[in-house]
Structure 1
């Protein structure tokens, strides 16, 4: 879905929720191949059985990728990603866990580029037990209606 949501139309505190997505073994194996991260924490079930979590964990970068992908439910034609900040992996995500994302408008301010503002979204990823597993801030460069 395409839309135009200008800087002035973002309200601090507004939220949106995503659908859920279950993390699979295939996700982990494909991500390991794409990233080159074959650390045993993700790939070696036997070794993991001797570690504190007792089973393989998903790559943090995989959870970031899936989480951000879940938020992409529309295309804002007057906005673009400016970057991500304060990325934190709070709890491990395991094969079979289902994650959902809450996006909240945290801040907005003028940008040095004329005619644009910067919107900060707080991105929080939760597992099926409603436990926070990852969070970050997504920075959006958004066109203003009136320059």
Structure 2
């Protein structure tokens, strides 16, 4: 099987055409969620796959908890939580990879101060229990609600 999407090396197609409807034997092992892997054919006929780009991650969404329409972040980072209720959705196994299959709602449980990254909200998945820090959005079109942030305890 070719290297994974996070290995940095492009995948090269060397596959077989044994299955009708599939060009390569390893296609059945690709993740089915479109957020996980994007592939494209190159001019030389090979196939390159990689993770989702930052532009594709920074998109507007509807909050799964309060239903608010959340605009894309305009502060140079991507937003992954609601600025109104601070809840998130479990979409990353590691920050930015968009490969989690859980998709549970993530409750804000506290704040941490990470040197170069500043304040981060610690979210806990209500389905699987995974904890993950997410950067606080202080500037831009829709900053996080400061009153809710200050209500969280420091961890």
Structure (1 or 2) with the greater helix fraction: 1
Kindly name which structure, 1 or 2, has the bigger radius of gyration based on alpha carbons: 2
TM-score by length of structure 1 reads 0.30
Higher relative contact order (CA 8 A, sep 6+): 1
TM-score by length of structure 2 reads 0.29
Structure (1 or 2) with the greater strand fraction: 1
